[in-house]
Structure 1
Amino acid sequence: MLPRLPLDDRTYAEIVQQARRLIPKRVPEWTDENAHDPGITFIELFAWLTEMQRYFIGRVPDRNKRRFLDLLGIAPADASSAKAIVRFSNVNKAVTLPRGSKLMAEDQMFETEASISLVPLVLERIVTRTEREANDVTATNDHANVAFYAFGKDAKAASKLYLSFDRELEPQEQITINVKLLEAGVDMLKDAEQEFVVNRSAISPSARLSWKAYCWDESSGSAGWMPVEMIEDETLHLTLSGRITFAIKSQMRSVTVHPASEQARYWICATVEEAGYEMPPRIRQLMLHTVAAQQKDTLSEIVDFVVDGEPNEEIHMDSYLAVFGQIRVQVKDADGSWRYWQETPSFENLPPMDRPPSLFALVRHEALDSVTVKFSDGLSGAIPPPGQTVRVIASEAKFDLYRQVGRSNGLPEQTFELYSLSCKKRDALRLQVGVLEPQGTYRWLDWTRVDEFDRSKPEDRHFIYDPVKRLIHFGNGERGAIPEASNETNIVLIACELGGGDRGNVKPHLITEWVNEAQKALHIKADNPGFAAGGAEAETLQITLQRAQAELKHTFRAVTNEDYETLARATPGAAVARVHAIPLFKPGLADYPRETAPGQISVVVVPYGLTDTPTPSAGFLQTVKRHLDTRRLVTTEVHVIPPVYIKVTVNAVVVVEPQFVDEGQRLVELLKKLLRPLDGEHGIKGWTFGRSVYKGDIYSALSLGNGVVYVQDLWIDAEGPHVKKSAGGDIILPPHGLVFSGQHDIELISRTHL
């Protein structure tokens, strides 16, 4: 039975009928629709061609569709793992958790993405202070859904944010604080994912902060606020969410800070040195002892090391599998193959040999934070050759049940099934094929995963992994090499990662259970204060085709005005509220459009802000310009400029019905709604860039008021640079000008008093 194909269900007759129904609308002068008319003949011809085209398109197999996508450089997206921020508490002693430490969220496994050092420390109090007020926001910080202003709504220079700890910080002790900001234009349920995709090097901060601690100053012999050593600031002066890592240089001293003045505490302070925030930073939560975690379960991992080839060389690993799992060591030969070296308890009791054996010693540290792989001095054991020649394979003990895939029979197009491993990601596996040598030992060769064998040559060691069917495919000798035949198992996995998919998108406070008993015995509490986000299943072919169509329409090069505006709105790290591109214009051009600047374009950007006239800072403009410069034409010079705000004040005498003589404020609100620079709610658009303010606009707005009979008198005043007034009283704006409302004066007169 032939498979059912997704054909267009319209018949030839239906296509002809639909086309004929469009004739009166598209070509009303066409009145003869009989069969003898040549136009009807053309309709029937194109209907037949359309039916044939759809017929053949419906029979394009999925394999060919994938080839077409490959020509466009588009491949189906692999399954992805959810990411979250994990916070640790109840730390009673200093301890280091190795990278890859495993935690459970119900039935989902999560692993930390970096090692983290935990120390007994609590963020005790948080105080914000401006020139007007001081607030203790500690309770607000404990409720992560309530954001607070770090430096007040104005974020003026000299505003401060104080943080106190429950103990004195030791000099050179590194402390990391995770800062969660309420960022404009970011979906807060996806903030865990956003942190990992923003290119911070392309962002110029709008303001500048300084961090100080209250310490003892040896030079002056007194205590005071002294700068801390800022090791890392991912927040870019509280512009983005991220981590701040610092160290104290001197001995701290306790001090009282109002309003948390009931006792002296150990404080650090962030001060606004240079103001300029478009949106004052709002903090959702400040947290100690946090690390990024990803939903996955690594059964085996490999790490390649570069060694010097010197005697007594050592290699250190700080991963969870290295500390709590099994360790195997491979060393690369000159021909690129790998050989396993054997583990020995120690080199001390081994006598010198003419041909030292291939041995390594493994040292597990009592702190359970790292392991060390040691090599000999070249007398009692061999020395690895210099270069990237040492590979450490760390795996769980149970991985031995899964690592052996099978043996090759030397025939083309071999297929092996992974019965017990549900690897959802195509890149979740790394494998090797062993080649038997005359002396009975194996040398192991790396094989590379590819999506298809189309580009594989006969000598290329490639394989395909199908995560849906859990199948591993090898080539036929013409496209992709054939694994060496063997009587024993010679196809093995050296790396394997489980996990991925949308099941990892868990709610807050679910990542709590330790997997390892030794880590559980530390009695450290773990949880995720926010959502785990970013987990997704692998794309189907249909979804990939839809994404390909959307990406082809996506703007990635700045050519037209609309391209510049679209790209400016999408600038990472810059919350752009409005944007307007002005071709052939540059700052300082006096008589535009009569006078133009060839090859130049000015992009006017308006940021989100709390004021009526939000103005971008120099850093904001530089961030947008840097983003556009990488996408503009080579011959185009881009200027990113702020808007010119023009204050417009309306003075009017309006005749109304008697019952509305006291509702002048409503007319003022109508004018403010009209003369606004930013877009409003419910799709209300702000004033168009550079559009003149005509009296007719004001008349129209006032006529919408309740009870308005007519406008008896009207005149408009304007204040701002480059603004002009016509002979008729209209306001003429520069091309990068925007209006905002002044103090409108509306006088209402009852119709009965005329």
Structure 2
Amino acid sequence: MLPRLPLDDRTYAEIVQQSRKIIPKRMPEWTDENAHDPGMTMLEMLAWLTEMQRYYISRVPDRNKRKFLDLLGVAPRDTESARTLVQFSGVTEAIHIPRGTKLMAEDQMFETERSIRLHPLALDRIICRTEREANDVTAWSDHLHVAFQPFGTDAKRGARLYISFDRELEPGELATLTFKLLKHDESLRDVYDAAEEGELASLIPSARLSWKAYCWDEQAAKASWMPLQVVRDETAHFSTSGSFAFRIGAPMRSVVVHPAADKPRYWISCTIEEGGYELPPRISGLMLHTVMASQRDTLCEYMEYETTGEPGQSFVLDTYLAMHGEMRVQIGGGEQGWTELPLGQFEVERRPGGDGVSVKLASVPDDPPLAPGTRVRLIASVPGFYRYSAIGSGNGLPNQAVEAYDLACRKKTALGLQVARRERDGTLRWEDWSAVEDFDRSGPYDRHYVYMPEKRVILFGNGEKGAIPEASPDANIGLIACELGGGARGNVKPGLIREWASKAGRTASVAVSNPFYAHGGSEAETLQETLLRAQMELKQTFRAVTEEDYEILAKETPGVEVARVKAIPLYKPGLSDYPREKAHGQISVVVVPYGHTETPSPSPGFLRTVQHHLDSRRLIATELHVIPPLYVRITVHAAIVVEPQYADDSRKLAELLKELLRPLGGRDGREGWEFGRTVYKGDIYNALTKASGVVFVQDLWLDADGAQAKKTAGGDIQLPPHGLVYSGEHEIELISRTRL
């Protein structure tokens, strides 16, 4: 029996019927739709061809679909690991947590993405101070479901955030604070989303902050607020969630900060030096001792260095596997391959206090020192990994398949593979092989392999598409990297990461937890999912050519929140007689940010961020201007005749006009006033006459306050092309119908 295929559900008759419905819209002059008309004959023939094409397309095998996707540059997404923020608590002494430290969430393994040093330090008090008030928000910061505004509702220049600790920080001691900031449309959800490195590189902050600590100034011989040494600021001046690492440059001194006036404390402060926030920052989480962790279990990894030519050179590693696992050393690289050093030619020394591992290349009397620039590869693995690292031997035949059933790697790139070739003198040279999706682009000398996670099988080429591993009686196919984990199961709930995988971590009496959900973990894409994603991606805008392209891309600018945008072709700032006067080859993009004010305006940093995002996507011959809107205040003066019971409802009519004359959209889903659209008296008449109780508008005139706004002879208000309106204080006089 033939398998049931996903054929198109439209029949020949339905295609003909749908095509006939389009005729009056596309060709209204075509009125004869009878069977004798040659056009109908062509339409029916094309409908038959369409049905046949869809029938055969449904029978395209999966292998061909993958090749079609490859021609489009689309590949199925690999398994992804979930990520989350983990926080350590109960620190009583300084502890170093290396990168890759293994933590447990029930049966899920997580690893820290960065090294961190924990100090016996805790947050004491948090104060927010503006020109008008000072508030103690310490209780708010203790709850991750409550947000506070560190610089008040206005976030003006001079506003300060004070943070105190339970002890003084030593000069040079590294401390890290992690901030979770909310966006305008974001609820207090348990997910920590930090900006990627690429987003931070292109993000220009809207405001500028300065950080200081109350320390002893030796030059002035007194205590004062002195600048901090900022090591890392992932928040981009409180523009996004991230960590803030700093050092104190001088001995701290305690001081009393109102309203925490019960005792002196050790404080640092953050001050707005240059205002400009479109939306005042909102902090829903302020934490110490945090680091990002990924759901994975690394069994083997390697790091590469270059020698300086000095004898007995040593290298320092700061990873969990290096501290608790086994070490191997290789030298060489490139086309010559790698040579593995025996144990006697290198020494491994674990530094006290967990501050890393030192690997020293021992000097051999008969061998000269390594030449400067020689590559050294340090391979760290869990104890006993050697039982899995040698996964097979080459047979010298095409299309060799090697099974790796003992390693449940779920990612196609989870393995780092080497194949050894034996020289004439008997030494082994290990060559690196690269993972590829398939062998279509592989040549006969390309050392490529394909790993199929679902079968746990490694495939090699046939000599024409991909090289063939050298035949060997011994195991000459080995692993230098291996990573387990990944998938949707890693998206664990808050509080599930609470165990240490190592005995050393459990004996340190330091508690660990994840305050937020882990997110981002996903399974490998199926072919059908990849096809659907490819269809969506082909519809997405990635180049700015038309006006709509500029508007779509401007709203997608990472790091900023654009509420409205308008692209004006052939326009540049300062053009007074547009559209009769045109700026050829130029386009202006007007952006409006989200804000709490009635007329939100973008800061220079906001405009430059959008400009940078669009510059890399515009046509090279187009001159681009990203500009703020020009606001025009509209005041309506009206005398309106109403029913007697509505004679005191002038406030409702004023609110109706404010709803009409608004620059941003409302909760009803409608956009605000159209950019550059003239405010006609007829628009106001139409809105007022639809209100309840209005009989007629007896008199009406408009006033405008704003640059480049013009009033016509008929009383209408003309706006510049980048103009937006907002409501003034409308003057509405209501006249009862019975008084006429």
The interval holding the TM-score normalised by the smaller chain is over 0.9
Q: CA deviation at 1:676?
A: 0.4
- Equivalent positions of 1:26-425 (< 5 A) are 35-184=35-184, 192-196=192-196, 198-332=198-332, 335-344=335-344, 359-379=345-365, 383-425=369-411
Q: Residues 22, 273 of structure 1: CA spacing in aligned structure 2 closer, same or farther, 3 A cutoff?
A: closer
Q: CA deviation at 1:592?
A: 1.3
Q: What is the rounded CA distance, in whole Å, between the counterparts of 2:43 and 2:190 in structure 1?
A: 51
Q: CA deviation at 1:197?
A: 5.4
Matched, 1:608 2:594: yes
Contact 1:384 1:390 in 2 (8 A): no
Q: CA deviation at 1:365?
A: 1.9
Matched, 1:520 2:489: no
Secondary structure in 1 aligned to 2:668? helix
Name stretches of at least 5 consecutive residues in structure 2 with no aligned partner.
Answer: none
Q: What is the rounded CA distance, in whole Å, between the counterparts of 1:150 and 1:420 in structure 2?
A: 52
Identify the residue that residue 670 of structure 1 maps to in structure 2.
656
Q: What is the rounded CA distance, in whole Å, between the counterparts of 1:188 and 1:339 in structure 2?
A: 54
Identify the residue that residue 727 of structure 1 maps to in structure 2.
713
Taking structure 1 as the reference length, the TM-score comes to 0.94
Q: Residues 582, 741 of structure 1: CA spacing in aligned structure 2 closer, same or farther, 3 A cutoff?
A: same
Q: What is the rounded CA distance, in whole Å, between the counterparts of 1:183 and 1:266 in structure 2?
A: 31
Name stretches of at least 5 consecutive residues in structure 1 with no aligned partner.
Answer: 345-358
**Deviation per residue, 1:573-604 (Å, 9 max, x gap):** 22111111111111111111122211111111
Q: What is the rounded CA distance, in whole Å, between the counterparts of 1:333 and 1:616 in structure 2?
A: 52
Secondary structure in 2 aligned to 1:701? helix
Q: CA deviation at 1:437?
A: 4.8
Q: What is the rounded CA distance, in whole Å, between the counterparts of 2:669 and 2:640 in structure 1?
A: 29
Q: Residues 145, 603 of structure 1: CA spacing in aligned structure 2 closer, same or farther, 3 A cutoff?
A: same
Identify the residue that residue 698 of structure 2 maps to in structure 1.
712
Q: Which amino acid aligns with 2:87?
A: R
Q: Residues 380, 267 of structure 1: CA spacing in aligned structure 2 closer, same or farther, 3 A cutoff?
A: farther
Q: What is the rounded CA distance, in whole Å, between the counterparts of 2:605 and 2:301 in structure 1?
A: 42
Identify the residue that residue 651 of structure 1 maps to in structure 2.
637
Contact 1:343 1:362 in 2 (8 A): no
**Deviation per residue, 1:383-426 (Å, 9 max, x gap):** 44443521111111242332232222221111122213221111
Identify the residue that residue 510 of structure 1 maps to in structure 2.
496
Q: Which amino acid aligns with 1:339?
A: T
Q: Which amino acid aligns with 2:725?
A: V
Q: What is the rounded CA distance, in whole Å, between the counterparts of 1:447 and 1:730 in structure 2?
A: 73
Give aligned-pair identity as a percent: 60
Identify the residue that residue 551 of structure 1 maps to in structure 2.
537
**Deviation per residue, 1:165-210 (Å, 9 max, x gap):** 0001111212111111112356875964543355212122111111
Q: What is the rounded CA distance, in whole Å, between the counterparts of 1:69 and 1:178 in structure 2?
A: 41
Q: What is the rounded CA distance, in whole Å, between the counterparts of 1:582 and 1:589 in structure 2?
A: 12
Q: CA deviation at 1:636?
A: 1.3
Instruction: Indicate the RMSD between aligned Cα atoms, in angstroms.
Output: 2.1
Identify the residue that residue 599 of structure 1 maps to in structure 2.
585
Q: Which amino acid aligns with 2:498?
A: T
Contact 2:137 2:148 in 1 (8 A): yes
Identify the residue that residue 499 of structure 1 maps to in structure 2.
485
Q: What is the rounded CA distance, in whole Å, between the counterparts of 1:520 and 1:91 in structure 2?
A: 13
Contact 1:323 1:369 in 2 (8 A): no
Q: Which amino acid aligns with 1:240?
A: T
Q: CA deviation at 1:51?
A: 2.0
Contact 1:375 1:381 in 2 (8 A): no
Contact 2:188 2:284 in 1 (8 A): no
**Deviation per residue, 1:304-340 (Å, 9 max, x gap):** 2211232111011111011001111122268522222
Task: Out of 137-146 and 478-487, give the one that drifted further.
Answer: 478-487
Contact 1:178 1:242 in 2 (8 A): yes
Q: Which amino acid aligns with 1:455?
A: R
Contact 1:80 1:538 in 2 (8 A): yes
Q: Residues 31, 712 of structure 1: CA spacing in aligned structure 2 closer, same or farther, 3 A cutoff?
A: closer
Identify the residue that residue 356 of structure 1 maps to in structure 2.
none
Q: What is the rounded CA distance, in whole Å, between the counterparts of 2:5 and 2:330 in structure 1?
A: 51
Q: What is the rounded CA distance, in whole Å, between the counterparts of 1:188 and 1:542 in structure 2?
A: 35
Task: Out of 415-424 and 464-473, give the one that drifted further.
Answer: 415-424
Q: Residues 130, 237 of structure 1: CA spacing in aligned structure 2 closer, same or farther, 3 A cutoff?
A: same
Matched, 1:472 2:458: yes
- Equivalent positions of 1:674-693 (< 5 A) are 674-693=660-679
Secondary structure in 1 aligned to 2:354? coil
Task: Out of 369-378 and 110-119, give the one that drifted further.
Answer: 369-378
Secondary structure in 1 aligned to 2:156? coil
Q: Which amino acid aligns with 1:548?
A: A
Contact 2:195 2:559 in 1 (8 A): no
Secondary structure in 2 aligned to 1:542? helix
**Deviation per residue, 1:108-137 (Å, 9 max, x gap):** 111001110111100111000011111000
Contact 2:190 2:516 in 1 (8 A): no
Task: Out of 14-23 and 258-267, give the one that drifted further.
Answer: 14-23
Identify the residue that residue 564 of structure 2 maps to in structure 1.
578
Q: Which amino acid aligns with 2:350?
A: R
Match of 1:488 among 474, 477, 492: 474
Contact 1:229 1:247 in 2 (8 A): yes
Aligned residues: 740
Identify the residue that residue 588 of structure 1 maps to in structure 2.
574
Q: What is the rounded CA distance, in whole Å, between the counterparts of 1:9 and 1:681 in structure 2?
A: 39
Q: CA deviation at 1:28?
A: 7.5
Q: What is the rounded CA distance, in whole Å, between the counterparts of 2:113 and 2:146 in structure 1?
A: 28
Q: CA deviation at 1:232?
A: 2.1
